[in-house]
């Protein structure tokens, strides 16, 4: 199947993109990497009158050092981002997680910002963003605003970005020296995560000093496993201590049931994968 006919706009600046959005309104769709939008267009699940392509705005692909944060342009691809020295050193968890997104073709075309705005709970960018305390910079006709990752995902395939706004940057506080791991479970290689766990932590003096744990596909949005984090802090990263903390991973979750597995199966997986992710992040 081929898409319905649409007009194509390729702005050169963010200001031009916002003007195009204002002009076309609800009849427009924004194209980032296209890995989610293009299949939808081909299947005619959505038929916009205008597609606004952000691929020709160079400033949206920049990855820069802003003192205590790494700033990632929303149009930076998964592959560019995961390989960038700033991300590898200061946001290791994101680099590790992006290496597991789909396949090389998708990683070379898909964008970090596009994945975040798409807000698929089974996607592999949301949980690392939560575990890294990321902030999203959104620009609209009334100026820019910054949204914490915990407030960014508001529902199934729904983010806090307004219809007349664009996500332009992802700001990640530097987590230099933190241990990081992304444990992903799939039935078929390159499949969406049945469940995945992002673990980000520091170990000082033989004990876990700080911990961030986030879950993929355990609800309508990515989730922080706060009860796990609280149970880990102050504990030695031993197999028994981590197992006991990881047993709380499914608390407060509402995972889906589908052909790949029921909700109870996913809740079991969450505990198993959390134990593996935390131990790997701790270097055990």
Q: Tens digit of pLDDT for each residue in 228-280?
A: 999 999 999 999 999 999 999 999 999 999 999 999 999 999 999 999 999 99
**What is the DSSP track for 45-62?**
S---SEEEE-TT-GGGG-
CA–CA distance, 210 with 231 (Å, rounded to integer): 11
> Residue 70 pLDDT > 80, yes or no?
yes
| Verdict on whether the full-model pTM lies above 0.95 | yes
Q: Tens digit of pLDDT for each residue in 220-238?
A: 999 999 999 999 999 999 9
Q: Tens digit of pLDDT for each residue in 160-181?
A: 999 999 999 999 999 999 999 9
Tokens 């006991």 correspond to: 244
CA angle, residues 187, 154, 146, in degrees to nearest 5:
115
What is the average pLDDT across 88-92? 98
């Amino acid at each position: 199947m081929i898409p319905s006919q649409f007009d194509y706009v390729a702005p050169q600046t963010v200001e031009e993109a916002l003007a195009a959005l204002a002009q076309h309104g609800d009849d427009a769709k924004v194209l980032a990497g296209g890995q989610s939008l293009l299949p939808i267009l081909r299947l005619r699940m959505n038929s916009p009158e205008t597609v606004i392509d952000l691929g020709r705005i160079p400033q949206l692909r920049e990855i820069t050092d802003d003192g205590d944060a790494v700033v990632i342009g929303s149009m930076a691809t998964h592959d560019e981002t995961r390989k960038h020295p700033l991300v590898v050193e200061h946001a290791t968890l994101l680099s590790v997680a992006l290496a597991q997104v789909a396949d090389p073709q998708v990683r070379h075309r898909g964008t970090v910002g596009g994945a975040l705005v798409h807000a698929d709970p089974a996607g592999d960018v949301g949980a690392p963003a939560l575990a890294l305390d990321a902030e999203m910079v959104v620009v609209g006709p009334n100026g820019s605003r910054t949204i914490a990752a915990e407030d960014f995902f508001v529902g199934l395939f729904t983010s806090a970005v307004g219809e007349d706004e664009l996500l332009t940057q992802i700001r990640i506080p530097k987590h230099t020296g933190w241990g990081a791991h992304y444990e992903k479970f799939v039935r078929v290689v390159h499949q969406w995560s049945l469940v995945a766990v992002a673990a980000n932590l520091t170990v000082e003096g033989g004990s876990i000093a700080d911990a961030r744990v986030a879950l993929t596909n355990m609800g309508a949005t990515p989730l922080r496993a706060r009860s796990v984090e609280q149970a880990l802090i102050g504990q030695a990263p031993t197999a028994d201590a981590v197992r006991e903390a990881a047993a709380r991973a499914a608390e407060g979750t509402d995972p889906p049931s589908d052909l790949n597995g029921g909700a109870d199966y996913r809740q079991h997986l969450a505990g198993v994968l959390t134990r593996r992710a935390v131990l790997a992040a701790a270097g055990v």
